């Protein structure tokens, strides 16, 4: 869902992820719509800043697991797993603020980290629980999370699958601020409104330069991550992990044997 909010010469593009029954699990259609909405706002001179949000219960609970579960190694490698619009957000030159309430897990956490900064509701929970499915993060999580919160917390979260609540996420610098859930959208829109009133070129240059401090080796690393992610679709643990999730039972992993 996308709409224009705010006042003044340059307004805010607000995008809301909206698959409530699946906790905003990210599938092709949603990622394509998101990609198009982002590019449309980016191209619109009347828009100065973009806010990306989800629902009260979930920003996004990750990639759509039944979609992932249908893949094998070659289909993942040849066609990608989900829409090519996964990284469209990285082409956007205007700032994108993630306003996160509830779950931001797996690809949902990775999507939030691809935004320029995260404002969290006190209900927010961040995690990269892919290991429970017998796989690893596939959209930058192994690279962007350590850049944000450091190695130890990243290892802890990725290896144990534990979630981080909003207070911990603020202490760890994953989010820029935590606000009461009831005022999340207002706070994010207020920040966006301030940015809209700033010089557009300066805003775009700050975004480009701050991102440059992360981007060089990151891209290569994410590409390596992608190939490894694809390769896990050749393991029985991936089939088992995803089947167990869909059958609502505990997985029994064979550890690659
Ligand atoms: N996919 C599909 N459906 C999901 C889902 C998901 N990720 N997460 C939740 N749902 C669905 C549940 O199946 C359930 O559906 P029904 O049974 O009602 O039909 C409904 O949403 C409500 O969920 P729960 O009943 O489980 O609700 P709870 O409050 O008990 O638990 C939860 C909420 C978020 C803790 C739990 O649903 C959960 O653990 N969800 C899975 C989280 C997860 O493992 N996420 C990581 C997925 S892997 C890539 C790009 C991205 C990715 C990979 C590659 N490339 C570009 C290569 C990303 C991968 C991932 O994100």
Whole-number pLDDT of residue 102:
98
pTM for the model: 0.93
Using the atom order of ligand 1, give the atom closest to the CA of residue 230. Answer: 57
Phi and psi at residue 161, to the nearest 5°: 75, 10
CB 6 within 8 A of CB 193: yes
User: Which of 20, 21, 23 most suits a substitution to test ligand 1, by most atoms within 8 Å of the C-beta?
Assistant: 23
Whole-number pLDDT of residue 212:
84
With a Cβ cut-off of 6 Å, ligand 1 is lined by 22-23, 25, 61-65, 81-82, 86, 103, 105-107, 129-130, 133, 138-139, 226, 229
Centroid of ligand 1 to alpha carbon of 145 (angstroms)? 19
Centroid of ligand 1 to alpha carbon of 184 (angstroms)? 23
- Show Cβ contacts of residue 199 under 8 Å, excluding neighbours closer than 6 positions: none
Whole-number pLDDT of residue 22:
96
- Assign 3-state DSSP to the chain and report helix, strand, coil percentages, each to 5: 55, 15, 30
Whole-number pLDDT of residue 257:
67
Centroid of ligand 1 to alpha carbon of 65 (angstroms)? 6
Q: Write out pLDDT tens, residues 4-60.
A: 998 888 999 999 999 999 999 999 999 999 999 999 999 999 999 999 999 999 999
Q: Spell out, as residue ranges, where the chain has pLDDT lower than 70.
A: 257
The whole-angstrom separation of Cα 34 and Cα 174 is 23
Phi and psi at residue 167, to the nearest 5°: -65, -45
Calculate Rg over the CA atoms of the chain.
Answer: 18
């Amino acid at each position: 869902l996308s709409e224009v909010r705010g006042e003044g010469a340059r307004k805010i593009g607000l995008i809301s992820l909206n698959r409530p029954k699946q906790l905003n699990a990210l599938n092709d259609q949603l990622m394509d719509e998101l990609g198009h909405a982002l590019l449309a706002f980016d191209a619109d001179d009347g828009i100065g800043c973009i806010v990306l949000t989800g629902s009260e219960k979930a920003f996004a609970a990750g990639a759509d697991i039944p979609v992932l579960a249908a893949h094998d190694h070659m289909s993942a490698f040849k066609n990608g797993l989900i829409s090519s619009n996964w990284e469209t957000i990285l082409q956007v030159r205007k700032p994108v603020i993630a306003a996160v309430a509830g779950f931001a897990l797996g690809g949902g956490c990775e999507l939030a980290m691809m935004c320029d900064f995260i404002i969290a509701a006190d209900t927010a929970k961040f995690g990269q629980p892919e290991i429970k499915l017998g796989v690893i993060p596939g959209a930058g999580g192994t690279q962007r999370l350590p850049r944000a919160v450091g190695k130890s917390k990243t290892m802890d979260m990725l290896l144990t699958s534990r979630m981080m609540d909003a207070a911990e996420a603020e202490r760890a610098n994953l989010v820029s601020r935590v606000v009461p859930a009831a005022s999340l959208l207002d706070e994010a829109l207020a920040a966006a409104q301030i940015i809209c009133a700033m010089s557009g070129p300066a805003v775009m240059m700050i975004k480009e330069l701050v991102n440059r401090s992360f981007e060089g080796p990151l891209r290569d690393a994410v590409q390596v991550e992608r190939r490894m992610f694809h390769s896990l679709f050749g393991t029985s643990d991936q089939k088992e992990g995803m089947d167990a999730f869909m059958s609502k039972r505990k997985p029994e992993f064979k550890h690659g044997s």
